[in-house]
Copies of this chain bind each other. A is one copy, B any other.
């Protein structure tokens, strides 16, 4: 059950045959992405990347500078997978919806990186085509210079922040007993102290924030996301003059 299943991991790097071509940054990021998708962020160690590439740890260190630098760099790869819908002749509410769904889709594909994207400053010009499109759509919708920034932040804050919370990771260790424990605690709440919660319990248990024990990675909150998206678009429209 341990993440590192490879026999002989940690041993000396073994080249399969002859000289490998010079190590490249893209090669490192691809290996890192594979590791984090498989084993989570904790599994992404410099040594794991080095092992996978058949080099010494310092080879990775030389290219990436540090582990946190590696994590930051690999998190930007998620933005490369964003495929935005065409903008021409599409009403802005439809475009905003499609954009938010696409963000959520790529974050779900790399849900272990969602916590990095959601809580660590990501600075990459690779996201600029995406940013340009969002600003363009909001400008065309009628948000002028002052309100453009706040509208943009409202939209992006939702589009990234909401799925990041949805895709919260489960605790790494534990003996899986905590799930049953928490479920039992919820079932044992005093109905007199928590009347609204008790009434809603069948609908919310394991399906609502602060009341669930499974991650959105395995138990998606689809209808809630769509509802929140409706709220965003309707509320945004209400801010437009006219």
Binding site for B on A (CB under 8 A): 65-66, 68-69, 72, 114-115, 118-125, 127-132, 135-136, 139, 145-154, 156-158, 160-162, 164-174, 178, 182, 185-186, 189, 193-197, 199-200, 203-204, 207-213, 215, 221, 223-224, 227-228, 230-236, 238-239
Closest to A166 in B: B157
Q: Are B224 and A230 in contact (CB under 8 A)?
A: no
Known contacts A135-B196, A169-B121: A145-B203 contact under CB 8 Å: yes
Q: Are B119 and A157 in contact (CB under 8 A)?
A: no
Closest to A127 in B: B210
Q: How many copies does the complex hold?
A: 2
**Nearest CB of B to A160, in Å:** 6
The residue from B65, B153, B154, B210 contacting A173, defined by CB atoms under 8 A apart: B65
Q: What are 19 contact pairs spanning A and B, CB under 8 A?
A: A68-B172, A115-B118, A122-B210, A125-B182, A131-B197, A131-B210, A135-B197, A139-B200, A146-B203, A149-B224, A153-B208, A154-B224, A156-B208, A157-B162, A157-B165, A161-B161, A234-B235, A234-B238, A234-B239
